[in-house]
Amino acid sequence: MGIEAAEHPSHDDLGELFARVARQQRRAILTALEPCGVSPHQARALRQIVKTGPLRPSQLAEQLRISLRSTTEVVEALVAAGLLRREPDPSDRRAILVSATTQGVERSEQISEVRAAHGEAFLSALDATDRAQLRQILEKLDHHPE
């Protein structure tokens, strides 16, 4: 029974294992991003704006799948750090757009390098087949309704 249970973990055990690995990953990325001077949420927001171009905060919130309040806090911190700037939306002067500064683009590139190196180190125990399977599983879970 013990061997069979280890080979076929229960859903609770699998969920706990997934949560434990996610926590390990989160702690490691927090440490890896420290030299960049941003939190993981700030890094995601900055990278998204650099990737897509100027966005309204509501659009950024939607793309990141976070609340508008959280987006506002992230944007405020990135503006204060000189990585983002606010500008009036030319299509609606009452609205604002958030765009990356030159320093923000450079920091985004640094973040991408840190994330790539961290990801490679984190996944180094997996061969190409394992990585492909993990990607397929994570993509399926990412698109699964809650």
| 145 has a pLDDT exceeding 70 | no
Q: Domain map of the chain by residue range?
A: 11-141
- Using pLDDT thresholds of 50, 70 and 90, give the confidence band for residue 15: confident
What pLDDT does 3 receive? 45
CA 146 to mean position of chain CA atoms = 19
Q: Residue 122: CB partners within 8 Å, gap ≥ 6? A: 25, 28
| 10 has a pLDDT exceeding 80 | no
Which neighbouring-strand residues pair with 85? 99
Could you please state the CATH topology (level 3) that the domain comprising 11-141 is classified under.
Arc Repressor Mutant, subunit A (1.10.10)
Mean pLDDT of the chain: 90
**Rg of the chain on CA atoms, in Å:** 19
- 138, with CB counted inside 10 A (0-12, 13-18, 19+), is exposed
The number of residues making up the chain comes to 146
Least-confidence region, from 14-28, 48-62, 78-92: 14-28
- Using pLDDT thresholds of 50, 70 and 90, give the confidence band for residue 62: very high
Spatial separation of the C-alpha atoms in residues 18 and 103, rounded to whole Å: 36
Q: Let me know: does 98 contact 48? Beta carbons within 8 Å.
A: no
- Which structure tokens are listed for 95? 């609205």
What pLDDT does 11 receive? 59
pLDDT digits (tens, 9 = 90+) for 72-108: 999 999 999 999 999 999 999 899 999 999 999 999 9
Tell me the mean pLDDT in the region 5-16: 67
Strands 84-89 and 92-100: antiparallel
What is the residue-wise DSSP string for 52-106? H-SB-HHHHHHHHT--HHHHHHHHHHHHHTTSEEEEEETTEEEEEEEEE-HHHHH
Q: Let me know: does 41 contact 74? Beta carbons within 8 Å.
A: yes
Other C-beta atoms closer than 10 Å to the C-beta of 40 total: 15
What pLDDT does 67 receive? 96
